[in-house]
Structure 1
Amino acid sequence: MLATALMLAGCTTPDPDGSPRSGETGSAGNGGSSAPPEPGQDDSASSSTPSDAGTPEPSGSLDQYGVSAAHPLAVDAGMDLLVDGGNAVDAAVGTAFAVAVVEPFASGIGGGGSAILAAPGMDATGYDYREVVAQDGNIPASGTGVPGFVAGLADIHAEHGELDWAEVLQPAIDLAEEGFPVSDFLAQRLRADFGPSSIEGLEHYHSASGEPLSAGDTLVQDELAETMTTLADQGPEAFYDGPLASELSEVDGLDADSLAAYESEEVAPVSGEFGDYEVVSAAPPLPGAALVQQLQLSEALGIAEHEPGSAGYVNRMSEAWLAAEESVHRFFGDPDFVDVPVDALTDAGQNAQRADQLTLEAEGVSANSRSANSTSGGGVSSVHSAGAQAAQQPVTAGNTTHLTVVDSEGLTVSMTNTLTSFWGGSESEHVGGFFLNNQLSRFATEESESNQPEPGRKSVSWSAPSMVLDSEQRPVLGLGSPGGHQIPNILTPVLVAWGLQGASLQEAVDTPRYHLQDGVLAVEQEPSAELTRLIDARGWSVQPTTREQAIFGSVQALEIDYDTGHLTGAADSRREADVEIADADADSGAGNGEE
């Protein structure tokens, strides 16, 4: 039954193709790695345990260090911490708190997140500090769950950081206390979707005339600075059973016992072969295994031979996405409560077989050969038909924020944090200068038998901090993106271009993105005549998007070249992200955790 169900997840019908991409092959052109590593995941994510390898001793492996994050001021905060002798974890934690100040709509103290860490000589490990259902099992109308941001970052720092906790938080405190110029994107979010209702009654988000702050105005967040100062002085315990907990426990969906009981988790990330590499991503209930499946199906379908934006490219990307999305809906849930078949979903051989079946059916060779799939809920085209026949709703912008940090020892952090919806939705509260999350709403929007609310349980969501490892298990690329439901379709084209088509990192980030949802294909550019014929044949409708709508996220990525000791970054112009890379100073120890 499991094999049948998994095959059903990919049973849709490809159609017209474009011409192969001239002069390109399926071999990877980046990172200097050779044969792919052997997969090594357990069959269920819940049975996985993290490595005890710990942070490696400094080896002087790189000549540079860098930070890629959602806002230039947050990048500055992380770089300053590296210059002051911190390592990648110090910089990532400091950057995350700084992002919480300059992007209050995206992430912060009232939310949660997940991260992956790896380095030469250190096995990749993951941290899950996402929000959970309170101990009474109550799902409030706001969707607010017990926040994990503070606990998760504190645990990551305690295990792997070098600088004092208070020193790491100081750049964010300074930003909140002294203020910063409102960016164009923040000004837009203050006026869009949940922005107006979320900031209602909060004077510091408004000008003297009562209008939301405009680009260039200064945003000062005194209350947030006070909260962060309390965390710096008293530690994370202040949030969960100290002075901050008393106010939080008055919020519907939170209580003192649930706050005191919260613990972040160190978990083994999922992984799978892709091209000449191994892709590592977030464990369930996050969609890392589905991202790996989408990549492997895309590769097996021959996507490397098709120019991004061509009919053949979009056709294969969409087929792989529909299969991966169905896997999430069918199998994913909190691994502390359900078994998720991670091994089956990330096995390159099994996904190649599924891709072969898709190709055979597309060519009409065996269109009726798998009628047994009807025992799992439909015929061979049920997944695709469901997407085409569902009520067509527009694709909307997805929240979250991502950051990637690499220090001069090669320690790499890929971290995605979120409030879930922008501003935590329309009903989440503002407490202590920060907005609370609406993460528990995902039990309804991603409802399935495997994703049901219970006390202490985490919901399925779409954050996917990821890394690419070479044949020596060293990180050669860290990446992730905001974007909600679109995140797998944001990361897959970047990895296909970089890992299979020999594109530079900037070229890969600039690759056009597509997202198919309920028969609606969201696009960044006008479809070609060839792609239009595919869209018509599929019965899809087209949704043109603009950068201002923030549909397709913003990839924050850093690439490592161990031969040269240099890093490469890429600026994603879809939002206002920034990246900075600097030369390591052997005398001062900048960027390598030495002082």
Structure 2
Amino acid sequence: MQPKNRPPHTHAPRHHQSGPPSTRRAMVARRAAQTTALLATFGLLAACATEEEPPPPPPPAPSEELQEPTSTPEPVEDTLTQQGVSAGHPLAVEAGEQVLTDGGNSIDAAIAAAFAMSVVEPFASGLGGGGSVVIAGQNGEPLFYDYREMVGVDGEIPETGIGAPGFVAGMGRLHQEHGSLEWDRLIQPAQQLASEGFEVYDFLASRMTEDLGPEAIDGVEPFEVDGEPLASGEQLVQTELASTLETLAAEGWESFYTGSLAEQLTQVEGIDAETLADYEVTASEPVSGEFGDYEVLAAAPALPGPALVQLLQIAESQGIAELEPGSAEYIQTLSEAWLVAEETVLTEIGDPAFVEVPVEEITDAESNAAIEISTQSAPQDPDAGSAQGSAEQQPAPAEGDAPRDANTTHISVIDDEGIMVSMTNTLTNFWGAGEVSGGFFLNNQLSRFEAVDSPANRPEAGRKSVTWSMPTIVLDDEQRPVLGIGTPGGHQILNIMGTVLTQWGLQDAPLQEAVDGLRFRLIAEDELLVLDDEPDDETREALEDLGWELQVWPDEWGGFGSVQALEVDYETGEVTGADDDRRVGSHTVID
């Protein structure tokens, strides 16, 4: 099949200057308009926008029936001949596949895969964490759900950085509003994996022995035998987690927030009964923006979806479509766009329930095309590099140390009715806070308030922090979902997504080729360009001539994520996936 279903691109000539980053960024025309109010309940999204943002309704207790359930996007007009699941581990893919085969929809399959990932990737996501999801069909409003971790009612951040987990509430609300199979059916594959066990794979084994892993699993029985971490090839059985999942399946998701599971969770520092009972999943419309022949649907604030749209629009306006992927000029151009988008994350993104985020300005294609990117000074110039704050918050790892935030996990699903799901779940750092309750690890998401220290991202009761996760769906010119995509990778996610999407969306690269391509990121404070593979001699010399020191991160660090993506061809009704060999992610296509 053809990788994309659209006419060929035509591009006007552009002039591009290569060179290192500069701080002279003109944020052109980005302060004039007010952002459209993000509505607290999706039942209101179809209504016309009002001039003033209405006050948010009081959050319902998790046990209460939601008064205004959202509507699942309508199926595409032409039923697809195939369905697909892409996730970070083959066993999670299998869980989602079984659900689709049993007649479940894409939301059912994503929930099942997410619970399964919490078992087979306990260091990256799970019941103690949070996440977000974008859902789209051909007709009807697309949906965005934010179920990330929340500051407690006392407004304090515990030393561990643990926030009230939202993962279970997110899965519960998705099932309540869009699920077609029974709740316990969706948890069953995960419960079976936890109770019967699975074979430890290399990446899991390395996470247990590197960086924070040894401290996190110290004394945690399933992960150690006689004080030694399980090795690759050994069996991991998580009996306590299996029991928790069994309770969750039998008593419903509310038990995590107001029932028997909540009682256990309140023993964790920073989590109290009132905070759990008040936890609220927020629903809104995703951020959207023009990109090539497409429309990008990205995660709404406090997630950095607006910055992804901005990065793509700047890169497009700077002529990246004509540049060879992996070349010095391509790396420089995308990095310049990233520096602007990174600055946006560090200064403007925040929880929209507490601050106004100028989404429409950030994602305005005309304004972003007018941003002048100066590339004349060398990195050693005092004026070089615009994202100094980000560099200070994550300096280059010391030799032998992996980047701690190369985390999260992503799931993409599409069913035969054309409903696409793009879901990213996380504990924040690998192993989160390193604390265990009920057999699962707790997040350290509230540490992101310190990591992104801006007036738009200040901790207070009920607030959610800026994070790097960005589940994304791409629509074609008929408003049909043609690509569901996302990745782990922590601070690298924005650049990873930019690299894959510019090659796929602007250069017509096949999806697998775009996923396989070179990944990189500037760490401007250290005058450093990190890559996931050694460049050829010509590219290395050109980058060094620009003043950058190059560093290659080893594959085993997992610092550049694992893209999970599914693509749809509506002419044939077929689905295509891509496997990212940087980790163990896989996909399946069901006829």
Q: TM-score range by the shorter chain?
A: 0.7 to 0.9
User: Taking structure 1 as reference, are residues 384 and 465 closer, same or farther at Cα in structure 2, changes over 3 Å only?
Assistant: closer
TM-superposition CA deviations, 1:39-58 (whole Å, max 9, x none)? xxx94365356445534268
- Give yes or no for contact 2:408–2:426 (8 Å, CA) kept in 1: yes
TM-superposition CA deviations, 1:563-590 (whole Å, max 9, x none)? 100000000000000100010xxxxxxx
Q: 2:170 is paired with a residue of what secondary structure?
A: helix
- For 1:416-435, what aligned pairs fall within 5 Å after superposition? 416-425=424-433, 428-435=434-441
User: Taking structure 1 as reference, are residues 224 and 126 closer, same or farther at Cα in structure 2, changes over 3 Å only?
Assistant: same
Which of the residues 478, 494, 505 maps onto 1:472? Answer: 478
Q: 1:458 is paired with a residue of what secondary structure?
A: coil
- For 1:385-424, what aligned pairs fall within 5 Å after superposition? 393-394=396-397, 396-397=403-404, 398-424=406-432
- Give yes or no for contact 2:303–2:470 (8 Å, CA) kept in 1: yes
TM-superposed CA distance for 1:200, in Å, is 1.2
- Are 2:318 and 1:298 aligned? no
**Counterpart-to-counterpart distance in 2, 1:402 and 1:260:** 27
Q: 1:122 is paired with a residue of what secondary structure?
A: coil
TM-superposed CA distance for 1:544, in Å, is 0.8
TM-superposed CA distance for 1:445, in Å, is 1.0
TM-superposed CA distance for 1:96, in Å, is 0.1
**Counterpart-to-counterpart distance in 2, 1:386 and 1:449:** 14
TM-superposition CA deviations, 1:414-440 (whole Å, max 9, x none)? 000000000103xx4200010000000
- Are 2:441 and 1:439 aligned? no
- For 1:209-224, what aligned pairs fall within 5 Å after superposition? 209-224=226-241
**Counterpart-to-counterpart distance in 2, 1:114 and 1:255:** 23
TM-superposed CA distance for 1:32, in Å, is 2.8
TM-superposed CA distance for 1:285, in Å, is 1.1
TM-superposition CA deviations, 1:457-507 (whole Å, max 9, x none)? 011110000010011211000000000010011111111111111111101
**Counterpart-to-counterpart distance in 2, 1:257 and 1:465:** 30
Matched AA of 2:4: N
TM-superposed CA distance for 1:352, in Å, is 0.6
Which of the residues 31, 35, 41 maps onto 1:44? Answer: 35
Matched AA of 1:572: D
Give the TM-score taking structure 1 as reference length.
0.85
- For 1:270-289, what aligned pairs fall within 5 Å after superposition? 270-289=287-306
- Give yes or no for contact 1:68–1:578 (8 Å, CA) kept in 2: yes
Q: 1:349 is paired with a residue of what secondary structure?
A: helix
- For 1:163-562, what aligned pairs fall within 5 Å after superposition? 163-207=181-225, 209-354=226-371, 357-358=372-373, 361-362=374-375, 383=386, 393-394=396-397, 396-397=403-404, 398-425=406-433, 428-518=434-524, 519-562=527-570
Instruction: Tell me the percent identity.
Output: 52
Matched AA of 1:501: Q
Q: What value does the CA root-mean-square deviation take over the aligned residues?
A: 2.3
TM-superposition CA deviations, 1:305-349 (whole Å, max 9, x none)? 111111110110110000000011111111111111111111111
**Counterpart-to-counterpart distance in 1, 2:438 and 2:515:** 37
Which residue is 2:6 aligned to? 32
TM-superposed CA distance for 1:530, in Å, is 4.2
Which residue is 1:373 aligned to? none
User: Taking structure 1 as reference, are residues 429 and 508 closer, same or farther at Cα in structure 2, changes over 3 Å only?
Assistant: same
- Give yes or no for contact 2:346–2:389 (8 Å, CA) kept in 1: no
TM-superposition CA deviations, 1:13-46 (whole Å, max 9, x none)? xxxxxxxxxxxxxxx972337999xxxxx94365
Matched AA of 1:251: V
Q: 1:423 is paired with a residue of what secondary structure?
A: coil
- Give yes or no for contact 1:60–1:408 (8 Å, CA) kept in 2: no
- Give yes or no for contact 2:86–2:413 (8 Å, CA) kept in 1: yes
- Are 2:102 and 1:84 aligned? yes
**Counterpart-to-counterpart distance in 1, 2:354 and 2:9:** 36
**Counterpart-to-counterpart distance in 2, 1:471 and 1:34:** 13
- Are 2:132 and 1:124 aligned? no
- Give yes or no for contact 1:223–1:433 (8 Å, CA) kept in 2: yes
**Counterpart-to-counterpart distance in 2, 1:553 and 1:570:** 14
**Counterpart-to-counterpart distance in 1, 2:164 and 2:535:** 43
Matched AA of 2:74: P
May I ask how many residue pairs the two structures share in their alignment?
531
TM-superposition CA deviations, 1:39-96 (whole Å, max 9, x none)? xxx9436535644553426856100001000000000000001111100000000000
Matched AA of 1:443: F
**Counterpart-to-counterpart distance in 2, 1:60 and 1:232:** 35
**Counterpart-to-counterpart distance in 2, 1:237 and 1:390:** 37
Q: 1:95 is paired with a residue of what secondary structure?
A: helix
Which residue is 2:16 aligned to? none
- For 1:52-91, what aligned pairs fall within 5 Å after superposition? 53-56=71-74, 61-91=79-109
- Give yes or no for contact 1:29–1:500 (8 Å, CA) kept in 2: no
**Counterpart-to-counterpart distance in 1, 2:367 and 2:511:** 29
**Counterpart-to-counterpart distance in 2, 1:437 and 1:386:** 24
User: Taking structure 1 as reference, are residues 548 and 388 closer, same or farther at Cα in structure 2, changes over 3 Å only?
Assistant: closer
TM-superposition CA deviations, 1:118-152 (whole Å, max 9, x none)? 01213211000000100001211110000000001
Which of the residues 129, 148, 159 maps onto 2:177? Answer: 159
- Give yes or no for contact 2:35–2:361 (8 Å, CA) kept in 1: no
**Counterpart-to-counterpart distance in 2, 1:390 and 1:96:** 30
**Counterpart-to-counterpart distance in 1, 2:289 and 2:314:** 12
**Counterpart-to-counterpart distance in 1, 2:396 and 2:100:** 45
**Counterpart-to-counterpart distance in 2, 1:60 and 1:577:** 29
**Counterpart-to-counterpart distance in 2, 1:144 and 1:534:** 44
- Give yes or no for contact 1:481–1:491 (8 Å, CA) kept in 2: yes
User: Taking structure 1 as reference, are residues 390 and 198 closer, same or farther at Cα in structure 2, changes over 3 Å only?
Assistant: closer
Mind listing any 5+ residue stretches in structure 2 that lack a counterpart? 11-32, 47-70
User: Taking structure 1 as reference, are residues 32 and 219 closer, same or farther at Cα in structure 2, changes over 3 Å only?
Assistant: same
TM-superposed CA distance for 1:382, in Å, is 6.3
Q: 1:526 is paired with a residue of what secondary structure?
A: coil
User: Taking structure 1 as reference, are residues 57 and 283 closer, same or farther at Cα in structure 2, changes over 3 Å only?
Assistant: closer
User: Taking structure 1 as reference, are residues 457 and 538 closer, same or farther at Cα in structure 2, changes over 3 Å only?
Assistant: farther
**Counterpart-to-counterpart distance in 2, 1:390 and 1:423:** 19
